[in-house]
A and B are shown apart, each in its own frame.
Chain A
Amino acid sequence: DAKTTQPPSMDCAEGRAANLPCNHSTISGNEYVYWYRQIHSQGPQYIIHGLKNNETNEMASLIITEDRKSSTLILPHATLRDTAVYYCIVRVWGGSARQLTFGSGTQLTVLP
């Protein structure tokens, strides 16, 4: 699986959009970008994933650059409950790709 690079920490004001970047310059054509988050003392929670098109769900939006070498997770209206470590993971969808390879992630702190 391709390696990802994320900033170690970010702050965001409550109610504002949180934009979390991820670099994955060695991504392969069949690898998806996944985002998980981990709130303190809980297990990681799936947020969203995408291949090359922008994706949106009830939690967040995922913007992938045209060359697919980087992406941004957007939380449109951050709340205090969004404070968590956010992990960007690149992997092949299902099949023989059995593990998730977590990096150190980005600690997002939403400030009141």
Chain B
Amino acid sequence: DAGVTQSPTHLIKTRGQQVTLRCSPKSGHDTVSWYQQALGQGPQFIFQYYEEEERQRGNFPDRFSGHQFPNYSSELNVNALLLGDSALYLCASSLGGSGYTFGSGTRLTVV
């Protein structure tokens, strides 16, 4: 049984560009959360999607947006990339609000 799958694993973008990260949740899970983890820090909550709607959002600007598809997979979009957006982006899936399973993340580098 595959766990949470994220793609790509690594990505390099230039300042001002836009990026899309993808996440396939663990089988049986219906909720997807996204986290940003800067080097040396704990993961910070970006937002959570359930039933194709954003249910909760952390303290992140509108440049960060997302989407959830009918098959529960999700995308994280970041517009107008800044150097400070360089981080590990983690996707976590769950059934409702419990039992979180994390993917291995996408390492985004903005140059």
Contacts and interface: CB of A to CB of B under 8 A. Distances in A.
Interface residues on B, range: 20 to 34
Interface of B: 4, 31, 33, 35, 41-45, 48, 55-56, 58, 90-92, 96-105
A96 B48 CA distance: 11
| Chain B, interface SS category | strand
Contacts of B33: 98-100
A99 B4 contact: no
A98 B105 contact: no
A44 B48 contact: no
Interface residues of A, number: 21
Report whether over half of chain A's contact residues are helix, strand or loop; otherwise say mixed: loop
Given A43-B105, A44-B90, A98 B55 contact: yes
A46 B4 CA distance: 13
